[in-house]
Amino acid sequence: MSDSVQPVFTVAGIRGIENRVMPSADPPLMERAGRAAAEEAFRLTMERPGRVLIVCGPGNNGGDGLVMARRLLQAKREVTVVFDGDLARLPADAAAAYVAWRGAGGKVETELPPPPEEGWALIADALFGIGLERPLTGHYAAWIESLNSFNVPRLAIDIPSGIDADTGKVLGTAFRATHTLTFIALKPGLLTLDGPDHVGNLIVRTLDIDIAEHARPPGHVIDTTLFRDQLKPRLNNSHKGDFGEVGVIGGARGMNGAALLAARAALKLGAGRVLVSLVDERAPSVDLIQPELMLRTPEQVLAQANALAVGPGLGLDERAKAILGEALALERPLVLDADALTLLAQDDDFQRLCHDRSAPTLITPHPGEAGRLLGTDPFAVQHDRVGAAVELSQRYRSLVLLKGCGSVIALPDQRWLINTTGHPGMASGGMGDVLSGLLVALLAQRWPAESALLAATHLHGAAADRLAREGVGPIGLTAGEVCEASRGVFNGWIVQANQNGH
Ligand SMILES: NC(=O)C1=CN([C@@H]2O[C@H](COP(=O)(O)OP(=O)(O)OC[C@H]3O[C@@H](n4cnc5c(N)ncnc54)[C@H](OP(=O)(O)O)[C@@H]3O)[C@@H](O)[C@H]2O)[C@@H](O)CC1
Ligand SMILES: [K+]
C-alpha cells in the first residue's frame, strides 16, 4: 500500500499505538494533542477574536481540552472551560492537565454559561473521544444539544462527542462539528454512517507518531494512488478486441432500464463491446438512445462476454435462477448486484458455487441486501458496516462493496477500505446499476478485480461530486448523468496519472 494513502484504525488499533508510544513520549501525547487543538483554534479564530468555550469531559478527551485551554490562556486568549467530572476518577494525564490548568490561573465552570454578548469565537468539544461506550443521556446530552444550536465554528477534539469511533453510529446524541481535529490516525466512525454528517472539515494530526513504525493499519481511505498503475493511456495501435467484451444480464419486465443503465455505463467506461440481455421477452431489441449496445439472449451473453454483471432488474423467477446458476459456474470475473444478491442469499447451492469459484466474484450490496446475505437485517449491518463487509467477504469469498454513506470495501484477505467520494444526491434509482456497469467495464478491460472495485467505487462518487460542483445536483442528480460524467473524470485521471513521468 502506498505511503500516501491514509490509514484508518479502529479504537483497538489506536489504543495499541498509544500503549506503545506513551511510555517514552516526550512531550506526552496529551500535551501534543492539546497543543495541536490550540493551534487549530488559533487558525479558526484568526478573523474572530473573542472568547473560546471548551467543554471538557471526564476522561482523556477532557484532558486534551484542558491542555488546549492552558495553551490558549498562555497566549492571552480568553477561555471559558466547562468541566463537571469527578476529579478523583480522572485518568492520570487528564488529572495532570487539570492541575496545570488551575496552576496557570484557569477557572472551571460546572454548567454551560450563557455566551458573551458578542458570541463565542469558537466552541470546542472535548467531552468524549474514543472512550465513549454507551449512549449519552442527561446533562451531557443536553449540553451537546445546546452547543449544536450556536452558529459559530465548532471544533470537535478527536471525534465529535456521541459518535462511536468504530462504527459512526450516533450514541444518544452527537456534537455537530464544523471542524474535527483527529489524533494519530483516522477512525472508521469519522468516515461512514452518521460520522460524515457530524465531522465537518476533517483534519488529521499524527502527533509526530510514525505510525508505520508501530502498527499495520487494518483499513485505508480510497484514493487514486491505489489503482494508479492501471491508469494507462491506450496505445495508438489498438482495436476494440483489446478492451474486452462486457456482458450485462437483467432488465425483467418493468426493469429494462436497470440493465440498460449498467450497459451504457460499461460503454462509457471504455469496454470494447457491450452485450446486454434483457430477460423481458417483450423488451425492445435495440437501445435507440445507445444503439452501440448489442442486445442478445442470456445464453449468447454468457457464452461470449469475458466479464459479466448479473442482477440489475433480473427478477427472482426460475429463469433468473437458471441464469445466475450458469453465471456462477463460469470462471470469469462476475459482478453480482440487486436481484442476483437476493437469489444468492436464498439458495445454499448458489452460495456453494460462489464459494468455490476461482475467478473473482464482486458483490455490491446495499445494507438491505447485505442483511439478507448475512441472515440478519439492515440495522445490524449499519450497526457495524466495516464488520459486516468483512464478514460478507469471508462468507462469500468475494470482493465486497457495502454501499451507503462512506461505502466500505472488504477484500478476501480481510483488508478494508472506505470511500469518501459521493454525496446524498446519489440516493436515487439507477445509481447502483451505473456502478455495476463501471465495474464490469474495468473487469472486461482486464483490470485486476481489486483495482477495478476501488476505481469504480471512487469514480462513481467523484463523478457525482464533479457534477454537484458544476451545479448539477446534488438534489435531483440522475444516474444517467453520473454515467456521462464518469467518462470525463476517468479520462482526467489517466492524464493526471501519466504526467510527471508516472
Ligand atoms: N490515551 C492517551 O494517551 C491519549 C488520549 N487522547 C485523548 O483521549 C481520548 C480517549 O480518552 P479515554 O479513553 O479516557 O476516553 P474518553 O473518550 O475521554 O471518555 C471516557 C470517559 O467518559 C466516560 N463515559 C463514556 N461514555 C459515557 C457516557 N455515555 N456518559 C457519561 N460518561 C461516559 C467514561 O466513564 P466510565 O465509562 O468509566 O463511567 C470515561 O470517564 C481520545 O479520544 C483522545 O482525545 C489523546 O490525548 C492522545 C493520547
Ligand atoms: K470530542
What is the pTM (predicted TM-score) of this model? 0.96
Q: Tell me: cis bond preceding 333? Omega within 30 of 0 counts.
A: no
For the residues 78-106, what does the mean pLDDT come to?
A: 97
User: Which protein residue's CA is at the shortest distance from atom 39 of ligand 1?
Assistant: 58
Extended beta strands in 86-218, E state: 122-126, 154-157, 179-183, 201-205
- Annotated binding residues, written as ranges, equal 60-64, 125, 129-135, 140, 158, 161, 258, 313, 366, 403-407, 432-433
**CB 182 less than 6 A from any atom of ligand 1:** no
pLDDT one-digit tens code per residue, 452-500: 999 999 999 999 999 999 999 999 999 999 999 999 999 999 999 998 6
In ligand 1, the atom with minimum distance to the C-alpha of 29 is 49
Count of helices and strands (H, E) across the chain: 18, 17
For residue 2, what pLDDT band results from cuts at 50, 70 and 90? low
Output the CA torsion sign for 502, 451, 255, 271: positive
Domains of the chain: 7-219 (3.40.50.10260), 224-497 (3.40.1190.20)
Residue nearest to atom 45 of ligand 1 (CA): 61
- Percentage of the chain surpassing pLDDT 70? 99
Kindly state the greatest CA–CA separation across the chain: 82
- In terms of C-beta distances under 8 Å and separation of at least 24 residues, what long-range contacts does 223-226 make, across chains too? 223/4, 223/5, 223/6, 223/458, 224/455, 224/458, 224/493, 224/496, 224/497, 225/2, 225/4, 225/5, 226/1, 226/2, 226/5, 226/417, 226/451, 226/454
Local structure of 46: helix, strand or coil: coil
**Digit-coded pLDDT (tens) for 35-86:** 999 999 999 999 888 999 999 999 999 999 999 999 999 999 999 999 999 9
Question: What does the pLDDT look like over 310-327, one tens digit per residue?
Answer: 999 999 999 999 999 999
Residue 222 reports pLDDT greater than 70? yes
**183 CB within 6 A, ligand 1:** yes
450 lines ligand 1 (CB under 6 A): no
Residue 1: pLDDT over 60? no
Q: 181 with 36: CB under 8 angstroms?
A: yes
Give the whole-angstrom CA distance, residue 344 versus residue 73. 61
Minimal CA–CA distance to 288: which of 260, 248, 325?
A: 260
Distance 133 CA to ligand 2 centre (A): 13
Distance 465 CA to ligand 1 centre (A): 35
What pLDDT is attached to residue 47? 87
pLDDT band at residue 23 using 50, 70 and 90 as cut-offs: confident
Predicted-complex ipTM score: 0.98
